[in-house]
Amino acid sequence: MADIEMSINLSKTGRRLLKFFYFAFLLIVSISNYSCQQVQSKNNDIESKVTSLLSKMTLEEKIGQMTQIDPIAMSADQINKAVRNGNYGSFLNVSGVEKINALQKLAMEESRLKIPLIIGRDVIHGYRTIFPIPLAMASTWNPEIVKKAFRISSIEASSQGIKWTFAPMIDITWDPRWGRIAEGCGEDPYLASAFAKAMVEGIQGEQLTDPKAVAACAKHFVGYGFAEGGRDYNTTYISEPMLRNVVLKPFKAAKDAGALTFMSAFNDLNGVPTSGNEFTLRQVLRKEWKYDGMVVSDWGSIAEMISHGYCADEKEAALKAITAGVDMEMSGTTYLKNLKTLINEGKVDLAMIDEAVKNILTLKFKLGLFENPYVNPEAEKQMLSPEFLDHARIVARQSTVMLKNDPNTLPLSARISSVAVIGPLADAPRDQLGTWVFDGKAENSVTPLTAIKAVLGNPKVNFAAGLKYSRDKSKSGFAEAIAAAKKSQAILFFAGEEWILSGEGQSRGEINLPGVQEELIEALSKTGKPLIVVVMAGRPLAIGKVVEKSNALLYAWHGGSMAGPALADLIFGKESPSGKLPVTFVKGSGQIPFYYYHNMTGRPANAKSWTPIDSIPVINSQASLGYKSFHLDYGFTPLFPFGYGLSYTTFKYSDLKLSSTEMSKNGNLTVKASILNAGNVDADEIVQLYIRDRVGSITRPVKELKGFKRIHLKSRETVGVTFELPASSLEFFNGKGNVIEPGEFDVWIGPNSDEGLHGEFAIKN
């Protein structure tokens, strides 16, 4: 009887729960529908306002909206007159609350149609609080902290009236000679796509009309990172499968994340400059991706189509750019001077102009500039807040990659009797900020020397720069540096590049340490003291000799304002290094391009097939070296593989499990593994998932990243990591269309692209 009563009660409880969940479901659906209706209503409202405003505009005012100008060569009177007349829709490189508010006041009160300006500026990895360069941020493999970094950048920039930044740069590149590798996220489309999404969301925030929101700009569309020879602005030739399977992926992620603007690139792509490329701008971006945002040219890139030999003059350049779909011209006047004539001649349809202006006005309405064009002077008080600086320290710490650590070299004890701090980057506050820093200030940098002294106290630190700057070829400082090393218990050498050696236009043919840094490192290694090298650079350098001579090596990139304290945290063991390489490190320039997801080739090399050049017998046969794909001097492996990075502990991978050995084209595979922290230090590990499609209708890469997770493990703790691998993630473009092909696949879970637990599965028809 009691059992029956319990059954009845449970039944009543069950019915109540069902009713509760049913009504909760209805409420959620109702809220969701209401939210969608609100968004649609807002979009319709903006469209209505844009249409109304567009109908009132003269042709000259429309073309003005399509022109962005850097007013550096203009007088105040010229600027004011241009704003009153509606000659320009946007300014770049204007900063300061008072100046920008004054410009907006002219636009909103003295121009005919009261259209606000949009102020753009390159805020690439920080405004006043400078974060590590984007390539370094990619080394964190932590999109969430990078998203917050970009949110902070927008908060600081918007406090000065900047509402549009030309970031993120999400060009894939395989060439570390290219200076702008510093601005991107490395070589891998999956990793770069994850950061593209995070960066766009960080820049734009949750609410576009928030005064702290800034419009993101996905650049450079497209193929810029494949410049021949790593020479900036150069020609690019990219097959359509490579374009769609690799280069376009991060841009699609940025579009899906809601990037308000895109930027056409400087380069020509397969013979057609990208600022006049209808295939990329009209076919891919607009037609295939349904992108409804605004497209801006890169600086002067429309007129540069003349230099490319694609256009005879500025008039033809304007015609090809507007036809291709460039809405706004950055820092040029080809539109301003030629569009009206082209319309009068019937070569450009007015509908094209209206389409471009509609995209520009929509951007301004979405950002709330019509309602709130002015900056609150109080907002700038957040600049360089302790919270912002603390986050910059966290990002710099997680972006540092440990590449070598002989037993017991690192971390150093904070009770060490003395250390020698040596090297051109030890106390270089401007250099550690890196490239593309217009508004950060060297005086806000905390250098490694300052941070180490704060930990140990001045008496324990023996400082001798050894070299005045990274390119210094004078050995006059060697003696002082060696003397400092000899009287110290350990040596900390801060090597690298000055900031000016990387970034736009800063390509290098040889990518070793500049100057005589390697010679000083070799001299210091002969003292017999533990030698810890910290490399602070804007690109992956060829540092094989440095690796050999050092006992430990940290790759810290250009780490921003708080690079010094972040490095001190790692050097003295407050935190364990956790960064992983977002690019392959080559042995030398002759090995470029080298990227982990290369194709196999018909004659793949292996350890048995390669004989080091110095081991080749003087007398040998023609076929003695095996006819395989390698360099006689470099071999077939990189200096360090993609995804590589060490820790102060050891992680052990075990127990790989697949939910099945087969799945359909609509299926999903679960891949699991156990990770053990086998050491005595609590630390983070970045677990990586790779696959290989063994046979395809076009040759497929030897490995492809398909997932990653950053996990924290306490000493001796084991954590299970699970990845979901949908069959859709195995789709690729084969030259005819996107396909998921049946066949056999390999899968790995591991600590980098070279190692890992291996499994197999198949996709069936």
The residue assigned the tokens 């407050």 is: 574
Judge residue 54's burial from the number of C-beta atoms within 10 Å of its C-beta, 0-12 exposed, 13-18 middle, 19 or more buried.
middle
Strands 718-726 and 732-733: unpaired
Quick check: is 298 catalytic? yes
| Contact assessment for residue 176 and residue 584, using Cβ atoms and an 8 Å cutoff | no
Containing 464, the helix (H) or strand (E) segment is strand 461-464
Judge residue 498's burial from the number of C-beta atoms within 10 Å of its C-beta, 0-12 exposed, 13-18 middle, 19 or more buried.
buried
Q: Give the C-alpha separation, 708 to 135, whole Å.
A: 17
| Contact assessment for residue 178 and residue 225, using Cβ atoms and an 8 Å cutoff | yes
Question: Is 270 in a helix, a strand, or coil?
Answer: coil
| Contact assessment for residue 296 and residue 263, using Cβ atoms and an 8 Å cutoff | yes
Asked whether the bond before 116 is cis by omega within 30 degrees of 0, the reply is no
Identify each DSSP E strand in 186-244 by its residue range. Answer: 217-221
CA-CA-CA-CA torsion sign (270, 273, 274, 277): negative
Strands 668-677 and 651-658: antiparallel
Q: Give the C-alpha separation, 528 to 540, whole Å.
A: 28
Among 180, 193, 284, CA closest to 224: 180
Q: Give the C-alpha separation, 424 to 466, whole Å.
A: 7
SS (H, E, C) 706-761: EEEEEEEECCCCEEEEEEEEEHHHHCEECCCCEECCCEEEEEEEECCCCCCEEEEE
200 CB-near residues (< 8 Å, 6+ apart): 168, 216, 218, 254, 257, 258, 259
362 forms beta bridges with none
What are the helix and strand counts (H, E) for the chain? 20, 26
Q: Give the C-alpha separation, 445 to 420, whole Å.
A: 21
Name the catalytic one among 298, 327, 439, 472. Answer: 298
Q: How far is CA 607 from the centre of its chain?
A: 34
Please state at what angle helix 350-366 crosses helix 2-56, rounded to 10 degrees.
130
Q: How many CB atoms lie within 10 A of CB 333?
A: 15
Q: 174: which 2 tokens?
A: 């395989």
**Residue 762 φ then ψ, to 5°:** -140, 150
| Contact assessment for residue 216 and residue 260, using Cβ atoms and an 8 Å cutoff | yes
Q: 662: which 2 tokens?
A: 């087969």
Among 182, 185, 131, 183, CA closest to 705: 185
Q: How far is CA 224 from the centre of its chain?
A: 14
Please state at what angle helix 189-204 crosses helix 143-158, rounded to 10 degrees.
40
What DSSP string runs through 521-559? HHHHHTT-S-EEEEEE-SS----HHHHHH-SEEEE--S-
Q: Give the C-alpha separation, 252 to 197, whole Å.
A: 9
Instruction: State how far the alpha carbon of 442 is from the alpha carbons of 152, 168, 361, 463, in Å.
Output: 19, 23, 38, 20
Helices (H), 244-333: 249-256, 278, 304-307, 314-324
Catalytic residues: 298
